[in-house]
Amino acid sequence: MMRGLQRRTTARMSGVVGNLALAAVSLAIANAVASVALRSPSVANRVFSEAAVWRAAWLMRPHAAMLPHDLFDPELGWTLAPNLRDVPLPGTGTVNSESHGVRGAHERALAKPAGEIRIVAIGDSFTFGDEVDDGETFSAALENDLPTAEVLNLGVHGYGHDQMLLRLRRDGLAFAPDVVLLGWVDMDKERDILDFRDYAKPRFELSDGRLVLATSRIPAPAELLRSRRFTPALVLLAEGTWERFRSTDDPARAVAVAAALSAEIARTVRAAGAVPVFVDLPDPRNSTAPSRLMSDLCDAEHIECVFPGNALASAAASGTRLIRVNHYTPDANRIVAASIRRHLEARGLLATRREQASSLASAR
């Protein structure tokens, strides 16, 4: 009898162990499938919210927590690290920065040199100049074309209008600019409703027509990694799918938030005594037609706006290469800079603030 009981107990234990082993193998296979899905844009973009796609990609990559030219910023999420020297950019190009995080090795004083016009450029990777060297951005080309002006490139890859606004307030206005250029890329409006893109980021919401900062705190990369280090891909998959299911984001909301943020950028610039100038930066692979949203903003908010699309289209028709991989070539950046220069000259914006105000008032 005792031997029979032992045999039955052993059989039950073997069955339990076998079931556990089968479950473990099944979970491992499911986790591997989830990992493949997370790394497949064609799958992930259909199933997950956009923020979940970016967050999962960040958590799953081998970690040097930030890109070599990035610095964690508790207010902005990330920004250009200061005092860089010849750091390679992803793909092609190198980047330098001075002590304030302005692109380029040349140090910029906060105090504006006497008799000089100062222009600050804010924007995303097209303004920053992904895939080109410091001297090949449109900010650098514009500075070369304007001997009496200083052009400071405060663009940062991956930024939405929320981060542009916050960086302008904190960093850009400290340079006492006469003109602030906003590099407008139409797809940036989708970033404005995300709380995670290249990294965790700030996000504003509209409440009774007012912008309200919805994010209270951005965790440091080491903290985020500690909290999520052992999160299986299967859990990330479930989280991303659930976020997509309960998401109420829609294109109309993205447009409304982008419009409010852009109008606030213009108001912030004017309150500082400078002139806001929005620059449409189209992707020539899709269309060089002006952004409808930016055109509407220009009319509604009486913003100075530059549309280089026709010049870019003419150059493309004559065989000029405009996109290197995903961003502008040096030639395209020079075309954009020339369009900006012509607009600034025609509108009398390369003058003192008092002269600018007088010129704009008479033009209207």
- CATH code, domain carrying 339: 3.40.50.1110
- Percent of the chain residues past pLDDT 70, beyond the cut: 74
- The DSSP output letter for 175 is G
Q: Are residues 29 and 56 in the same domain?
A: no
Model confidence at 251, pLDDT cuts 50, 70, 90, reads confident
* Residue 9 domain boundaries: 1-37
Angle at which helix 221-228 crosses helix 50-60, to 10 degrees, equals 90
What does residue 87 show for φ and ψ, rounded to 5 degrees?
-85, 125
pLDDT in tens, 185-233: 999 999 999 999 999 999 999 999 899 999 988 999 988 887 655 555 5
Is 31 or 64 the better-scoring residue by pLDDT?
Answer: 64
What is the model's pTM?
Answer: 0.83
Q: Are residues 245 and 292 in the same domain?
A: yes
Q: Are residues 199 and 219 in the same domain?
A: yes
Q: Are residues 18 and 115 in the same domain?
A: no
Total domains present in the chain: 2
Selection from 337, 357, 355, 344 nearest residue 138 by Cα: 337
Q: Are residues 14 and 125 in the same domain?
A: no
Q: Are residues 23 and 77 in the same domain?
A: no
Q: Are residues 44 and 18 in the same domain?
A: no
Strands of the 117-122 sheet, one edge to the other: 149-153, 117-122, 179-184, 275-280, 304-306
pLDDT in tens, 311-332: 999 999 999 999 999 999 999 9
Q: Are residues 33 and 166 in the same domain?
A: no
Q: Are residues 86 and 220 in the same domain?
A: yes
Q: Are residues 25 and 44 in the same domain?
A: no
Q: Residue 239's CB: how many other CB atoms inside 10 A?
A: 16
Q: Are residues 21 and 137 in the same domain?
A: no
Q: Are residues 13 and 152 in the same domain?
A: no
